[in-house]
Every structure is written in C-alpha cells, then in structure tokens.
Amino acid sequence: MSDTENPFDRFAAWFAEAERSEPNDPNALALATVGADGQPSLRMVLLKDFDPRGFVFYTNLESRKGLELRGATKAAMLFHWKSLRRQVRIEGNVAPVSDAEADEYFSTRARGSQIGAWASDQSRALASRFELEKRVAMFTARYAIGKVPRPPHWSGFRLQPQRFEFWEDRPFRLHDRTVYRDRDATAGTWLIEKLFP
C-alpha cells in the first residue's frame, strides 16, 4: 500500500515534517466535541500517540470534554501546521484507552503535571487562584514520597478515524484537498477523492 493509499502513512509523513518545522507544539490539535444539548465545544489538546488504531490524547474525565466524549462518543480533530501551510481534519468514533495505557503514559509525565492532575477539578468553577495553589500543596504533601498514582478521574481517549481530509496550500487559493473515507475494515482500504478547494 503506497503512502497515498493509506492516510495513517500520509499523516505520519506530514507529522514528521511538522516536528522539524513547527516552532511550538507540532502535536497540538483542535478537538471538537458536542454536548447532550447539541452545543458544540472546541479546545486545543496535545496528541500523545497515534497508530492505525487511532489518535490518543488525555484529559480529566470529569471535565467538559471528558463528559462530552463519554456521552456522544464522536469527535473531530484539526491539526494546523502554519509553517508548512497544511492542515489535517480527522473525524470518527472515540473510545477510552485501557487502564494500562493510561497508567503507562501517566508515569512519563513530569511530577508537577501528575500532582496537577490530582489538584485540578478541570472545567469547574474556581473561587480563587489560592484555592488551586492550596490543592496543589495538599496533593504535593500527600504524594511527597514515592510515585504519584494516576487519579481515577484522569485517563485518555482514542479517536478512531472514519474520515481524513488533508489540505495543502496552493497559489491563488486553488488548494489541494484529499479525503479518505469509508474504510473497508476487511480489506483495509479507503475511498480516496479530491475536493474542490
């Protein structure tokens, strides 16, 4: 299967270029979810892993995005690499990562980030900065010795793509757009089509 037939291979090549050219966070992506009321929500998160099973990111499960992902189980991602004048849109179903995967990734985080995962009631109202600092101090004291365990409310999700769109800038706004969709799971092939810019 050539790079043009497999969107994961194409993404990997573009991502490798972004890692060399983007000045900050080439793994940053805009993640779109939808609430039970149909209201869409969008925020930036960091891609932590990808392979043919999908694209992995981590969050507080009780945050707005965590609740929306567990409720709707569908999401969309957008990578925009300004230095390359490229973007990739990905849409699909979302499923939780395994506890083993979440534990493994959590163990690689900086200790301060591990403490932060315990201290932050992400997306909920905060009375003052002092309240957050007090919680950080409390969990720093609680886990002063030894490793910091992963909080039960913190884990990851894997977006399993059903559609990719690769966009590349071209002169006079005649951009190149390629869509991969309707994957045949048995054959492992995708329907590929070009779109008008």
DSSP-derived secondary structure for 23-71: SS-TTEEEEEEE-TTS-EEEEEEE--EEETTEEEEEEETTSHHHHHHHH
pLDDT for 1? 38
Q: Nearest CA to 97 among 127, 66, 63?
A: 66
Per-residue pLDDT, 188: 75
147 falls within a domain = no
pLDDT in tens, the chain (197 residues): 344 689 999 999 999 999 999 999 999 999 999 999 999 999 999 999 999 999 999 999 999 999 999 999 999 999 999 999 999 999 999 999 999 999 999 999 999 999 999 999 998 899 999 999 999 999 999 999 999 999 999 999 999 999 999 999 999 999 999 999 987 767 778 999 999 99
Number of domains present in the structure of the chain: 1
Residue 78 located in a structural domain = yes
Question: 121 in a domain, yes or no?
Answer: no
Q: Is residue 105 part of a domain?
A: no
pLDDT score for 157: 98
Whether residue 144 is contained in a domain is answered as: no
Query: What crossing angle do the helices spanning 111-119 and 129-142 adopt, rounded to 10°?
Result: 120
Would residue 139 count as lying in a domain? no
Is the backbone of residue 12 left (phi > 0), alpha (psi -120 to 50) or beta?
alpha
Does residue 186 sit within a domain? Answer: yes
Q: What are the catalytic residues?
A: 173
pTM (2 d.p.):
0.93
Residue 173: domain span: 7-100+153-195
Note whether residue 112 is domain-resident.
no
Domain CATH number, residue 88? 2.30.110.10
